[in-house]
Structure 1
Amino acid sequence: MLERPGDQLLKHLTPTRHPGLAFTDRTAGADWLHTEAGCMLACARRHAADTGEPLRKAVDLLQALNDLIESGTYSRMYATAATDLLAATRTAGDARAEGRARTVLAHVHSLAGRFTAADEEAAEAVRLAHECGDVLPLCIASNFRAIVGIYQQRYEEAETYCVQALNSFRNDGNHNGAASALSNLSRIHGHTGRTESAVRLAEESLDIYRDLNVSWRLANGRYAYGMALASAEQHERALAQFSEALSIFRSNRQRMWEGWSLYRMAEIHHAMGDHAQGASHAEQALARLRGISGEWRRGDILAVLGHCLDRLGQRERAYACWTDALSVFEQLGYEKEAAAVRGLLRLAKA
C-alpha cells in the first residue's frame, strides 16, 4: 500500500478475483480515491441487499475506504452506507461481517462525537472478533475503545483497551496500527500527569511513521507529538509539531484534521498569552470544519475562541461564543463541558 506501508489491512480483506488498479505514486492514488469516492460508497451500499461474499466485500470496502471519513468530505455518505451494511449483516446472520461493520460504525460515531454509541459498537465488534477469530476488529475496535475512553475521561479503562490494541497490532505485524495505539497511549499518559512518558511514547510512534515513510499518517504522528509536548507545557515545540501536521493534512486534503490542528494551535496560543493569534486560529478552525465535523468539536473551539476574545477585551463576542458553546454541549448531553461554560457565563455577567 502506497499510503500505509506496514499496514496489514489487505491480508485480512475478502479476496477478489480482479487485479484492480495500480498507482505509481500517492498523489495519483489519492486523486482517484476522492474522484471515485461517491461511486464506491454507493456501490458498497447497493450490496446491502446481498449475502455471503458480496456482502463481506462491501463491508471490507468501507474498511479500506476509512480515510475518506477522516477527510470529513464524505462523512454522511459513509455513515449511511455503514448503517445499511450493519443491518444487512445482522439480517444475514454473518457474525464476521457484522463485527467488521460495527468496527466501521464505531469509527463513524467517534468522529461525530457520539462516544457512547461508538463504544457500544466497538465493544460488540470486539466480542464478535473473539467469537469468530477475526483479528481485524480485535485490533481496530480495541483502539477505538481507547479513543472513546480518552474523550470520556475514563483513562484507566482507555489504557487497558489501548494496551490490548497495541498488543494485537504488534502480534499481527501491523506497524501502522501499533503507531496509532502508541499515540493514543501517549495521550492517556499526558492526561494523567505522566508527561515524560507521554512525550517518549509519542516520539516512538512518530519514529515508526518516519521509518515506514508514510504520508499523511505522519501528520497524525506529529499531531500526537504536539499533544504530548503541550501536556508537558513545551508550547513552542508543540506549536511547531501542529504547524507541520497542518501542512501535511492540507496537502493530503484532510479537512477535518486541518480543522482539529488549527483548534489545537488556538489552544496553545491562548496558553502562551497570544490571544489574537489564538482567536485567529480558532476562527479558521470553525470555518474549516463547517459542515464536515461533529458539533462536539465546534463546542470546544467556540469555548477557546471565547477565552481569547475575552482576554482581548471583546466581551460581547466572547459571551456569544460561550452561549453557542453551551447550546452545543447541552444538546449533546456533555454535562461536564456545559457546566464549565455556564461558570464562564456567570462570571461574564458579574
Structure 2
Amino acid sequence: MGGEDSRNPLRFSVLGPVRAWRGATELPLGARQQRCVLAVLLLRGGGTVTVGELADALWGERPPQSALGTVRTYAYRLRRVLGHDVLGPDNGGYRIDTRPCHVDAAECERLAAEAARHRADGRTEAALDALEAALALWRGEALPGLPGPYAERQRARWAERRLELLEARMEAALDLGRHDRVTGELAELAHEHPLREHFSRLRMLALYRAGRQAEALEAYASARRALAAELGVEPGPELRELHARILAADPALALARTATGTATRTAVGTAERP
C-alpha cells in the first residue's frame, strides 16, 4: 500500500481496541499478536524496538523457537498496510515514524501536559477543557484482548493514568465551583475504587460544598470501612484531616469569590493537592 498522504493522515488508537485509519478508511491490522507488535511500536513514541524486544513483548520468557521469524513476518505485513515510509527497519529492529501521524496515547499526554501548565498559571477553565479532551480519547480499556506480558503491563499503566486524569478533572471542576455537577460521578468512582482515597476525599469535599455535610461524613465512614475490610488500615492523613475539618465546619473549605463572582479555591492545607 502507499505511504503517508498529508491529505489522509494516519490515525492510530491504542486507548481502546488497537485500530488504524487512513483518512476515513480503517486499515486491516491482522490478528491479535500482529496488533500487539503495532502497539509496542506506537507506544515507543517513534523509537526503535528490536526484534528481540518485540518477541519478549509477545511471549515473555518462553518464546517459541520461531519467535524472531514470526515477529519479522508481522512487521512485514504491517509495513504493507501502513506504508514502508511509515514503518521501517532500523538498527536491528523496527520503528514507526509517528511525527506525521495522530496517536491517541501521545495526544492524551500532550493534553495532560497542557492542562498541567494551565493549572500552574491559574487558568483552571482551560485546564478542565484540556483534561476533558484527554479523557474523551478513551474508547474503553487500553489494548483489550491483546496477548503477552507487554500488553498486560500497558493495560495496568494506562488504567492508572486514566484514574489520575479523572482525579485532576474532578479537582479542576471543584475549583470552579461545579461541585453539584460532579457529586454523582464521584460517588460512582469512590464505589468502583474504594481503596483510592483521593476519590473519597474529592467526594467529601464536593458534598460539603454542596451543603450536604452529613453525607460528606458518611462518605468518610464508608471509605474507612472499605479500607479496614480490605487492607486492615485506617484512612490516610489527608482524608482524616478533611474529615476533622468538615466536622468543625471549617470555613476555609468553602470557595472564595472574586470581584467578578468567579469561584476560586481557598487554601485548605494538606486537604488539597498543590
Using the size of structure 1 for normalisation, the TM-score is 0.36
- Structure number with the bigger relative contact order (C-alpha 8 A, sep ≥ 6) is 2
Task: Please identify which structure carries the higher strand content.
Answer: 2
- Higher helix proportion: 1
Q: Which has the larger radius of gyration?
A: 2
